[in-house]
Amino acid sequence: MTEDKKKILDSLIQRRDAVQSKVSRVQGRLDSARQDLAEVEEDCKKKKLKPEDLEDTIEKLNKKFDKETAALDASIQKAESSVTPFLEEQQG
């Protein structure tokens, strides 16, 4: 075998080994993701939630959060308005 062909073959072998290494890492990540998914699904079942209903549940929680923060903001604005006249009297 000529020296050039040996270099080409060595380069190809290195590339093949690098790809095999990357495939192994990706397989490890996939296995880990599958395990994480199984744990989340199990947690959902324990909490009597259907994993396929999570988007609806999250949407409901977001709406409730928005409603409650708006109510809190309104209460704070009312309190601020109530206190402001007393602070203005002391300054004047």
- Say whether pLDDT at 90 is over 80: no
| pTM beyond 0.85, yes or no | no
Q: Please say whether the dihedral angle defined by the alpha carbons of residues 5, 9, 15 and 18, taken in this order, is positive or negative.
A: negative
Q: What residues contact residue 81 under an 8 Å CB cut-off, 6+ apart?
A: none
Contact 51, 41 (CB under 8 A): yes
Q: Where are the domains of the chain?
A: 1-49, 51-92
Chain segment 29-65, per-residue pLDDT in tens: 999 999 999 998 899 889 888 888 888 988 999 999 9
- Of 4-8, 38-42, 67-71, 83-87, which gets the smallest average pLDDT? 83-87
Chain segment 18-31, per-residue pLDDT in tens: 999 999 999 999 99
Instruction: List b or e across 74-86, with b for residues whose CB sees 16 or more CB atoms inside 10 angstroms.
Output: eeeeeeeeeeeee
Contact 44, 50 (CB under 8 A): yes
**46 alpha carbon, distance to own chain's centre:** 21
